Amino acid sequence: MFRVLAVLAAVAPAVLASVLPGESCGYFGYATPEPSALAVLVHSVSAWAARLLPVVLASAWLWLPRRFPVLGAAASGVVLLLGGVTFVVPYTSVCGTTRGVWVTVVTAAVATAACVLARRDAAPRPIPPAVAAAWTAVLALVCGRYVSYLLTRDDADAAGCFADLKGAWALWWMRLDDAEAYGLWVGVAALGCVLVTGWAARAAAVALLVPALYVPAATLLSGVSPGCSGLPALVVWPYVAAAAVGVLTGTRRAVS
């Protein structure tokens, strides 16, 4: 199951970013150091490559499982190379100078090694096109939601409804919001894709209901006003649809 290890390694940066506390450098009323255009380009490309790696690995497994070791190693190697470039081009910001993103480099190296070792796995059975298409739909729904979320996160008019959560409810909401920004749920969907069927694949699909239903559930349990047209407006429906498709697909006979 080296393919699963490869995706787990690719998802690890999002998991760590979601769990570990973020860095806060405060507010400064004077001019602060800013990164160069080259640094912004290099670090942005490296970050996006790392975020999209689980999607590439999952797609390769679904549609070209016999070519997964080669394609996966190539994709992971590109992320590893881009991560290495961040050591050469430092990123200067108000928080100081960052030279190299170790998490990206280490996890990409593990993913590359796992893809190479995937040659030792038993020859995979062909994945039925209907199953591959279903999990591709799950991946597309989650990725579409992720892109939409990033584009509207800082736009109060386009972001939709917000519940007036307080205390621990609001704290967990903020943590889930950060996890979504880091691409955690894209990684969960990708993990379900490589598991394909069985209880683990279904569990990955069910996990997508956490970001989908947390806000309406917390609103109902805490007794606050939804602040918009009602609880259904707080549901993240693309995640609900992705979870439903994943659970139904995961009930099929396991693919080795």
Report percent pLDDT > 90 for the chain.
Answer: 52
Q: Which of 142, 125, 228 shows the shortest CA–CA distance to 187?
A: 142
pLDDT value at position 152?
78
What is the band of 21 on the pLDDT scale with cuts at 50, 70, 90? Answer: low
Q: What is the pLDDT of residue 254?
A: 44
Instruction: State both tokens at 166.
Output: 């307080």
- The pLDDT confidence band at residue 29, using thresholds 50, 70 and 90, is low
Give the start-to-end residue ranges of the domains of the chain.
1-22+34-124, 125-256
Could you report the per-residue pLDDT of 126-172, keeping only the tens digit for each?
788 999 999 999 999 999 999 888 887 766 555 556 677 788 888 89
Dihedral sign (CA 201, 206, 210, 211): positive
Question: Could you tell me the pLDDT band of residue 28, with boundaries at 50, 70 and 90?
Answer: low
Closest to 227 (Cα-Cα) out of 150, 149, 157, 160: 160
What's the pLDDT score for residue 159?
A: 52
* Global pTM value: 0.87
Q: What pLDDT is attached to residue 112? A: 97
C-beta separation of 203 from 191 below 8 A: no
Print burial letters for 29-56: b (CB count within 10 Å at least 16), e (below 16).
Answer: eeeeeebeeebeebbeebbebbbbbbbb
In the prediction, which pLDDT does 197 show? 82
Give the pLDDT of residue 49.
94
Q: How much is the CA Rg of the chain, to the nearest whole Å? A: 20
For residue 228, the model assigns a pLDDT of: 66
Q: Residue 38 — pLDDT band, cuts 50, 70, 90?
A: very high
The Cα 239–Cα 217 span in angstroms is 15
- Return phi, psi of residue 5, to 5°: -60, -40
| Biggest CA pair distance of the chain | 62
Mean pLDDT over each residue of the chain, to the nearest integer: 86
Q: What is the pLDDT of residue 239?
A: 96
Question: Greater confidence, 1 or 200?
Answer: 200
pLDDT value of residue 155:
60
Q: pLDDT digit string (tens) for 159-214? A: 556 677 788 888 898 899 889 999 999 999 999 999 888 888 999 999 999 999 99
Record the tokens describing residue 231, joined without a space. Answer: 């609880």
The span from the CA of 155 to the CA of 177, in Å, is 14
**Does the pLDDT value for residue 65 go beyond 80?**
yes
pLDDT digits (tens, 9 = 90+) for 75-108: 999 999 999 999 999 888 777 777 778 999 999 9
Residues 6+ away with beta carbon under 8 Å from 9: 107, 108, 110, 111, 114
Span 225-256, pLDDT tens digits:
766 667 788 889 999 999 999 999 877 654 44
Token pair recorded at residue 201: 């694949």
First to last CA, the chain: 9
Encode 136-152: b = buried (16+ Cβ within 10 Å), e = exposed: bebbebbbebbeebeee
Beta strands in the chain (DSSP E): 91-93, 96-98
- Residue from 249, 223, 243 nearest 169 by CA: 223
